[in-house]
Chain A
């Protein structure tokens, strides 16, 4: 059952960082609360302080700057899904955010929270990885920027220190001619945790050859990961069905090589192949027709 704690809701980031500086180790940060509230209920988390960051004005903006967009960490999934910049620039991330929980969850859950929770099955992380997402992390008196891939080090594990706060996410825009796709498999459409999820982004050059391919797969390893071998395998090839199917099989094989053969492998191998195939088709086959 929920233990007793103090509730603090500072008006600005500076005040938050002061609190974390003094009390970080005994504080749990609450943004949307969709994960923290469950940890409090089950007793997994027993903080002395709940620090509510959900109303910090500095963390609630979407700001395009040239080739990048800075997204505030406490914007909710619903706010981002409805945001014109997100709609225009980040279609795969938008699809992924639409897969999170239910409308009630998306109305409170935040992108910063998804990163801080570092679930292997987080919907938003694979599509953010493809956009070279960098996380803005502040603490009293200083700040740092870390690549998302480096920030997450394992299942529910990241490099964030107890005095640090995620205030924003920098996402890179893509140039014309790029396409991207997000797919996931869950037990049901809503309120399910992804069993497998993948985001793929790519571009063909003028002669119809794959110029860029970026692949990120989640839920199958301790943390979502880029499949760089398959990415380089695809580059320079024509996106024929045979090539794409081969790449999908390589993705599945590489994951099995990494995590080992398990009781679920018999299901997961063809499921990963199929999911990757769907993404690759979305990105490369449809565009080659256009």
Chain B
């Protein structure tokens, strides 16, 4: 895909990337988004399409440690990257501590924004220990919740930040 050989238009591209800890190869269309292929090819329907223009954060995934809107990323751009979706949080049937904190604090109502919220929270907590409230708010403002459960969501991320530590040191998704 890197070379200029445009005798005829591309129909498919081969991409190779790490998805929730497993190396995968996919054949994609050049015009498909990361959101499209994660949902339609990989069956990861936890990646939600809300607005489709990068304003709601429902489609948030983590690429190379950074939270991004998968609706604004082409599938081809995933090539060579490390990609995490909400489906990668649970390990061996055990919920990730951020998921647990969301349940404990009642931070889920209709649930549509939740996968994106969890991924934004994870990107933050993977990088920052004991984030301040301001830092949490900064990391979460790209995610809208139309049930307006923001207070509980903020509480949940604070709780998760406290839970992170001895209990979760062996968490494989954090390695």
**Chain A: residues with CB nearer than 8 A to chain B?**
2-11, 15, 18-19, 22-23, 30, 33-34, 37-38, 40-41, 48-50, 52, 54, 78, 101-105, 107-108, 189-191
| Chain B contacts for A7, CB-based, 8 A | 1, 10, 13, 30-31, 74, 76
18 more contacts with CB within 8 A, not counting A7-B30, A101-B142, A105-B142, are A6-B10, A15-B3, A37-B71, A38-B54, A41-B52, A48-B9, A50-B74, A52-B76, A54-B77, A102-B57, A103-B120, A104-B57, A104-B60, A104-B68, A107-B66, A107-B67, A190-B141, A190-B142
| Chain A contacts for B29, CB-based, 8 A | 4
The main secondary structure of chain B at its interface with chain A is: loop
Q: Quick one: closest A residue to B123, CB to CB?
A: A103
- Our count of residue pairs bridging A and B at CB distance below 8 angstroms stands at 105
Q: How far, in angstroms, from A101 to B55 measured CA to CA in the complex? A: 8
Q: What are the 3 closest A-B residue pairs judged by CB atoms, nearest first?
A: A102-B142, A190-B141, A7-B30
Q: How far, in angstroms, from A15 to B142 measured CA to CA in the complex? A: 35
Inter-subunit contact B142/A10 (CB<8 Å):
no
B69 interface hit (Cβ, 8 Å) = yes
Inter-subunit contact A9/B142 (CB<8 Å):
no
Q: How far is the CB of B115 from the nearest CB of chain A, in Å?
A: 14
Q: Quick one: closest B residue to A42, CB to CB?
A: B53
Q: How far, in angstroms, from A34 to B142 measured CA to CA in the complex? A: 13
Contacts A/B (CB < 8 Å), 20 sampled: A5-B30, A6-B6, A6-B9, A7-B30, A9-B2, A10-B4, A15-B3, A19-B4, A37-B33, A37-B73, A40-B31, A50-B74, A52-B76, A102-B54, A102-B55, A103-B120, A103-B141, A104-B120, A105-B142, A108-B73
Q: How far is the CB of B22 from the nearest CB of chain A, in Å?
A: 23
Chain B interface size, under 10 / 10 to 19 / 20 to 34 / 35 or more: 35 or more
Interface residues of B in 1-32 (CB under 8 A from A): 1-4, 6, 9-10, 13, 29-31
Inter-subunit contact B141/A10 (CB<8 Å):
no
Interface residues of B in 138-164 (CB under 8 A from A): 138-139, 141-143
Inter-subunit contact A6/B52 (CB<8 Å):
no
Inter-subunit contact B141/A191 (CB<8 Å):
yes
Q: How far is the CB of A178 from the nearest CB of chain B, in Å?
A: 28
A6-B6, A7-B30, A11-B2 known; A102+B72 contact, CB < 8 A: no
Q: How far, in angstroms, from A3 to B60 measured CA to CA in the complex? A: 24
From A9, A38, A48, A105, B76 is in contact (CB under 8 Å) with A9
Q: How far, in angstroms, from A52 to B30 measured CA to CA in the complex? A: 11
Inter-subunit contact A8/B1 (CB<8 Å):
yes
Q: How far is the CB of B173 from the nearest CB of chain A, in Å?
A: 19
Inter-subunit contact A103/B53 (CB<8 Å):
no
| Chain B contacts for A41, CB-based, 8 A | 52-53
Interface residues of B in 57-84 (CB under 8 A from A): 57, 60, 66-69, 71-74, 76-77, 79
